Structures are given as C-alpha cells and as structure tokens.
Structure 1
C-alpha cells in the first residue's frame, strides 16, 4: 500500500506549506499517538511515552509545540530533549525504554524547510506498516482523550550528556585522540553543542566551526554538503584532519591535512578494511550510486558487496536482511550496526579515527587501494506519464552501453524522486568512453520523448 504523506525519511516540506503546517503536525502527533496506544500493551495505569528532539531551525519551536499537543490529546506522554542530533533521538528512545522517538528536522535542507521523522522503540526507522497505520488515522477526525488521561510533558535536562557518553563509548577504551588537531564543522546544526565535547573529551585539540546557530543559518554554506568550508578550516588552522556533519548530525564528510575531501564511499572503505583485518566483517552494503571503484576495492578485500536503493533507510533494511553490520551512501550516511542502530555522523567519524590510529595511517594511505572511476550524469526531462522503461530505443541504447563497458563499468537509469527527470549515469575506467556512452543514452531518451 502506498504512503500519502511519508517519504523515504518521514514527512518533509517547506514550513507553512502543506504538510508542514501547525495544524497538520498536531494531527500527525495525534495520529501517531493513537497508533502507539493501539499497538502498545502496557501495564494498567501506564501510558505510552515518546521522545521529541529537534535541530536548530527556528521553526522547531512551532512544530515541537504542535507535536506535543497532538500526542497529549492522544494520551501519550512526551519527553522534550531540545536540540540534539537525529541519532541521539534513536539512542535515547532505546536507552529510556520509550515507545517511539520523533525528530523535527529537514537534515541538510535550508532553514525554511522542516520535517518530522519517527524512530521505533528499538531506535530504528518505523516500519512501513506502522507509517501506513499512522496515515490511516490522519484521514480520520482528530479527537481528544478525557482530561484525566491527557499526556504530560517534561524536559530531559541531561539528554546531551547521555548522548555524549554514548558516542565516547563507541571508541576503543585503550585509545585516545591526544596529539590530534581536528577541525570540526557542525553546520550550525543539532550537534553544535555535542560533537566538540565528544572529540575534546577523547583528547583531541578541537577547532570548532559552524557552532553558532541562530535559527536561520543551519547548513548555510557549511556542513557535510559544503565541504569547501571545512577544507579551508583545515588548511587555515593547520589541522591534522577535518570532520563535517550535516544539520541533524547523521551525515559525515572528512578532509585530510592536505585538503583532500573524503566522501561516504571512501570512509566506509576505511572502516571496512579495518573491520576485515580484525576478522569481523561479513559484507558491505552500498547504494545504486556507490562508485564502481568502491565496489571493486571492497571485493579485493575479499568482502561481499551489495547495492540497495538510494536512501539510508534501504541500506538499513538490507543490512538487517543479510545480517551484515556496515553500509552507507556516498553522501555520507554511514551505518555501523555494531555501534548504533542508525546512521550517526559522530560515531562514524570515531570509527574512522580508530581505524587510522590503530594502523598508524593517514586517510590518504588508508584509501590508497581505492580508485574511483569516472562518472557522467545527464538529466533528461520527461513528459508527464511517459514510460521510459517500455521504450525499445532506450533499452537498446542501454544494452549497447552495458555490452561495451562489460565488467569495467556500469549504466544506471533512475527517475528523479522530486522532478520530472530521468537521470542517466554511466561510469567506468575510461573517462572518454563514459562521456560518449552517457551522451548516446541521453540522446536516445530525448528522441523517445520528442
């Protein structure tokens, strides 16, 4: 059954426009609360309880109040954690034995966007079936329990401290970060008061940037989606390494002392190589967008590799299906299930640093066997209702390109999730061949829609 409001990562949009309006978010809280009450079989006298965390967007105050009202009307207690990273909500929901966690964030989007995403009691994204049930309740009139049954709200004063200690616990006890100078970009986001303390308390000399949120500057020229800012911070401050998070702290990009940027594929490879040498790696999950050079490098480690659909949600699903522990996206979502139940930028950075320290390597040395193949992406606009999969000309062009590349490349045709575009991606060892084949496929698409 399709979902009407939930996307791959919760409900998201521009604040003030449907569905991110106060009335809808209140009804969303109520619908989620009713779903929890119906699913949870608690002892008599106990009510379900949820944790609400948010990033630093100014609209977080508005949406937090609306969610709180909706949950209270459904008879669900609320614990308010204030600004904390998305993975902190996942951790605290599990640690406090709550029924669900809710994050108010639009991740790496500009401040004028926001969203609502949910975690289960175990700290994982809600299953599709639960989201569908919430949507069913959204389409019904909103009610309210009797006054004596209304939910209560309270703030958790030590939420940040609890999460800081959890992050530190994922770093080997016998190691520390003394002697390491880290440039740390927190994107003026949810990790601004948490990440610097984690790395400082582990012994690093931390140069923190992007730690002055004003409600409007989250992700504005900073963070994991703008690595040039971190690169300059590394070079200007003579840092040994740079770490950039996004607005809600679940995405990671790193920079070495020479200013070279390392994306998710490279960082996953560093972790994978270390885990393999320790004999505790069953396989690695990437996505359809993971570079073929990354897949081949993982193969040279003697480690199985598989691709999920784009989105950390689908990486997590495949990890659980196969019983593997490591995966992620080249965008910087990295999931280490032996450390956390979800992707976590701080925790992932600590795994990379532990691998480098254990083997006495720099990022460049750790990635020496990882050679990225050239990629060419061409976007072709599609008319409404056009079924590109059924067109024989497009299929023939793709088949010819696949045959030409053989095992030295791949072709991916993928519709955009937000625009009427077909994304034509070709990658392989030969850059000129990649360019030519991508143009040929794009031309076949254009001829088909003409």
Structure 2
C-alpha cells in the first residue's frame, strides 16, 4: 500500500483532501445474499479494499445486516446520535424531512448524478430535491409454469380476460394455485400496486396525492374478487394470508400456474427444475402500460461531516464496473443508464432482459412521501380484506384512503 504522503497528488485530483488527516467512513448496508457464501458483506469488503488501495488515508468500515434488521439498526443509531456516514436501506424520506441527509448534488460528481435511470432518480426526490440515491432495482413480470400450461393447452395471457381464462383451464387440470395472489402481510403493497397499475390506477392520483379509493382502483379489486378469488382460482390459502415467500415456494414446487415475480424467482425455480416462462404483466385491456419498479436506497448522513470523502467514495460505488458486479451477483437491475445499456446488450445477462425491458414502463412506490411507511404498513395489514368474502373492495379502499390522508397530514404537521 502506498503511503498517504505518496498519494498526496493523486488525492488532490480525486477531491478527498490531502495531508495526514485520516478519515473513517462508516456504512451500514443490507444483505442481499441467501447464505454466508454470497453475503453482501463479501461484496462490500472487496469494494472497500479496492477503494482504500487508491485512498490510503480513508478507511471504509462496512456493517451488513439482514433486511429484517437493517432499517431498525440504522434508526436506532440515528436516534442515539450515532448516525453512520452512509446507510443502504429501504427508505429515506423521513430522514430527509428532518434535514439529516446530504442532497445528491452535495455529494456526487455531475456525471454520476446524471447517470441514474430517470425513474429512479425522480423516485429519490423529496419536494423536487434528490436525497435518495438508488442502489439496486428490480421490476415485476408474470411468471408461468410451462409444463402446467402445456397440459392445459393454453398460452401466456396478455389481458385480464386471458388470465382468468387460463386460470380456469389450470383449475380444471387440478392445479393447486391457478393464479397465486399474495396479499398477506409480508409484501402485499407490491402485489397490490402491480394490480392497480395494470388497471390504469395506482397509489397516487394525477396531482400526486393519495387516491387509493379511485374508481379505477375499486374496479380492479372488484374484478379480482369476482373473477379470480370468488371463482376459487387463487388457491387454498386466502389471499390475505398468503405471503410472497410462500407463493414463490409453491411456484418452485410446481403448484402454481401463474404469479407476479421478480428476478430472484428465476434461480429458485431453476434449482427445483421448474420450466417457466415470463411475459409482461397482463392489463385490463391488453398488456399493462405500466409495471411495478422497486428500488433500494443509499443515503448519506450529515452528522459526521465527511461530505467530501463520502461523495468521492460514492462516485466509486456508482462506477459501472461496480454497479454491474453487484447487479449480476444478486440478479438485480443496474441503477445507472450506462450500466443498464451494457447489461441490455450482454449475452451473459439475457435472463434479466425481460425485467430490464420493463424499467422504462415502471412506476415506483411513493417513497418520497414521508407518510409512505405508515401507509404501506396499513396496506400490508388490511388489503387482503378487499377480496375476502363478506367484505367490499370499495369500503376497504375508502378506509385505506382515509388512513393514508391522516398519515399524510400527520407527516406534514411534523
């Protein structure tokens, strides 16, 4: 390793400062691996080592937590006055609202900031200012079991009507879950948004306020209840009790005809020998004009005052080589335009191309709303009732809309 003195000229060019002042940057990150052998800790350790080799007066200390723990761990650090320099987590808006975060343009070089995929950069904004730096992304497509479809003599659906017809044919063949509809508390907000978008609606209205009980959203859930759930085409577990992980497990066991899925389902299905296909999300009158996009976020806290060093490290993090390395390790989509172009043209990434092709059509959760966490929590708890016997979609969505407006008012008042 070259001495700090020997690197003075290089560091001056890199913008991290010079001299003997050592800087330790602390990053808390989420784990995308499913075992110790592919833990994100390994990725970050290698990345930190590569960066430190070029910047001997900077130490990057990375702690990785599981997704079930990382947001809580960061919140506890912040509440205790010990915020990390950076946190790679699931949300950012509440920290931005409290003026705890650096703006993107306070940190990144112009080329780095301009290189983010536009939908992701926009989703990282609060009141027009970007605080959330997209770190990993995915979209959703419809997975179908090719073996079950062949036995039923059907083709992949393009519209809701096609999907219902396929589900009826699969049920007639004894398929356990003709269409798996996971509206359970694990990730109901994802399945819900996917369906709302395919019906021409969504969580927000045209002026950017919550519109959960819009006529289009009510129509979507009425169709789901009447045409799928009510006709016993969604399997033996009530949608409000079916979690995404259980739906995915049923698909890899060969018990599901169709379901919405993200890239990680590919490897899981391949490991179990399930022959599957993927098509764009069916919509109310043909292929859906929009699909669900999901992003996780890198944030940078002001607390420790390492603005310049953090910015330089993040420019390195978002170098195409590093973005592609991470995306390929964990079957995720790149968050930069240049890396997306590379992946779209690369033979080694052909399995991810269906998801990459959906990115221009994607819409993300309203993560820039400080009320979103509270709204998502209520959706997870209650949306399953919208398709349950004895409940009414319009009533359930109206109740959720009232909850959303209260959360928005509370966030604004705070």
Higher strand share: 1
Greater relative CO (CA pairs within 8 A, separation 6+): 2
Higher helix share: 2
TM over 0.5: no
The TM-score with structure 1 as length reference comes to 0.27
